[in-house]
Amino acid sequence: MESHPRHHRILIIGGGNGGLSIAGRLRRGGVTDIAVVEPRDDHVFAPFQSHIAGGLVRASQAVRRQADVTPRGVAWIRDRVVEVDPAAQTVVLGSGEAVEYEHLVVAVGLETRYDSVPGLAEAMQRPDGVSSYTFELAAKASPALRDLRTGTVIFVQQPEPASAAGVAQKPMYLACDWWRRIGRLSDIRVVFVTPEPSAFPVPAISDELQRKLDEYGVETRFGADLREVRPERNEIVVERGAETEVIAYDLLHAAPPQSPPDWIAASGLADDDDPHGFVAVDPSTLRSQSFANVWALGDAASVDTLRSGGAIRTQAKILTRNLLAVLAGDQPAARYDGYTVCPITVSRHTVVFAEFDRDLRLAPTVPGWKTLYRERRFSFVLDRYVLPWVYWHLILQGRA
């Protein structure tokens, strides 16, 4: 007897922030036969990794079982996609099984590439190599930063493309504030290395962060690329234009380079001229320009704005509206303006809440509060308590 491949009306690749938001929203919109492909057993709330590294929350507070956060009525395929054949409307799973779809939503996030800088991956295996960008390394960062009393600590921000690049600075400010509170900040040399020309691409927010860098006495290396780590000598090599500098460290906190999974480009879902291989979508409608039944959002999509969970909240609304319209035989009319947000904890009780659009114009969401981006206790409460609750209880269920 001939066996038919499994088939779903809506197939979502990735059960992270974007994938589950869409699954929940479509389900609430009355769509049936939705499946999510996700290989992990545990779902991690990535923004808490910064708080874990900075010693504000325990690692266990960032994790829920995938089975518990997958919206009710949505099938979970516990596997990973290794290939998509958009012409045949089929994906191939790691198990070798093929799954057919009517509409495909890609939400697979970015992969960390520690191995793209010589010595970086090796440095992260040592006690003095940590990073908020990987769950286990964030947990290792917490006691390492807390217990440091003297020496040099280097914080490296990764180049774009990245997942909320600016949040690489969060553990640095949290650690500085901690050392200041216990009277050790003046004994610790803090160096911040970033490929960006300033602390943040939006000038008003950059000024706010620079004020904190000055306040903590952080040495900055702007426009500096991390070229090599020499773990056996505890040194990093950075390049600024024609200048090369070697900086010794006692502790290295490094956000790694990132990129979308390779199979996206290999499956023909990326633009040929995109060196990074993002899923090519119209950044306004989030629909593929080559395949009318392929959609994407989040870190792996060509959304043309700073990638963040806050951006996904808006993207999920737009994508759902457009996909529901297409399912009903209409044109996708909703438009994404590139709204994004990057909350940066600048002390253990204040945050700089950076909200802006794809033209880097400030875009505060609290009506009438144009200066929400300034350092505030209010936005700390939002970032530390309100948004995590909203994430677990509303966003992942497609309710917000």
Ligand X SMILES: Cc1cc2nc3c(=O)[nH]c(=O)nc-3n(C[C@H](O)[C@H](O)[C@H](O)COP(=O)(O)OP(=O)(O)OC[C@H]3O[C@@H](n4cnc5c(N)ncnc54)[C@H](O)[C@@H]3O)c2cc1C
Interface with ligand X by CB under 6 A: which residues?
Answer: 13-19, 37-40, 46-47, 49-50, 80-81, 107-109, 132-133, 163-164, 167, 261, 298-300, 307-310, 312, 341, 343
Phi, psi angle pair for 251, to nearest 5°: -145, 135
Exposed/middle/buried for residue 312 (C-beta within 10 Å: 0-12, 13-18, 19+): buried
Is 381 within 8 Å of 6 (Cβ atoms)? no
Nearer to ligand X, 246 or 381 (CB): 381
How far apart are CB 115 and ligand X at their closest, in Å? 17
Nearer to ligand X, 291 or 353 (CB): 353
Is 101 within 8 Å of 7 (Cβ atoms)? yes
Comparing every residue's Cβ against ligand X, the nearest one is 16
How far apart are CB 60 and ligand X at their closest, in Å? 16
Nearer to ligand X, 108 or 247 (CB): 108
CA distance 19 to 138: 24
DSSP 43: E
Terminal Cα distance for the chain, rounded: 46
Q: For residue 88, give the amino acid letter.
A: A
Q: Which two tokens stand for residue 173?
A: 């400010």
Is 276 within 8 Å of 260 (Cβ atoms)? yes
Nearer to ligand X, 129 or 310 (CB): 310
Question: Peptide bond preceding 161: is omega within 30 degrees of 0, i.e. cis?
Answer: yes
How far apart are CB 143 and ligand X at their closest, in Å? 18
Nearer to ligand X, 145 or 247 (CB): 145
Q: Which residue carries 């702007």 as its tokens? A: 222
CA distance 122 to 115: 9
How far apart are CB 221 and ligand X at their closest, in Å? 21
Nearer to ligand X, 190 or 301 (CB): 301
Nearer to ligand X, 91 or 188 (CB): 91
Nearer to ligand X, 310 or 338 (CB): 310
How far apart are CB 328 and ligand X at their closest, in Å? 25
Nearer to ligand X, 153 or 247 (CB): 153
For 388, the 3-state DSSP assignment is helix
HEC readout, 51-79: HHHCCCCCHHHHEEEHHHHCCCCCEEECC
Q: How many alpha carbons fall within 13 Å on the CB side of residue 304?
A: 12
How far apart are CB 325 and ligand X at their closest, in Å? 22
- Helices of type H across 280-363: 309-327
Phi, psi angle pair for 365, to nearest 5°: -95, -15
How far apart are CB 265 and ligand X at their closest, in Å? 13
Beta bridge mates, 97: none
Is 344 within 8 Å of 173 (Cβ atoms)? yes
How far apart are CB 96 and ligand X at their closest, in Å? 14
How far apart are CB 219 and ligand X at their closest, in Å? 23
How far apart are CB 71 and ligand X at their closest, in Å? 14
Burial 11-21 (b: 16+ CB within 10 A, else e): bbbbbbbbbbb
Nearer to ligand X, 119 or 310 (CB): 310
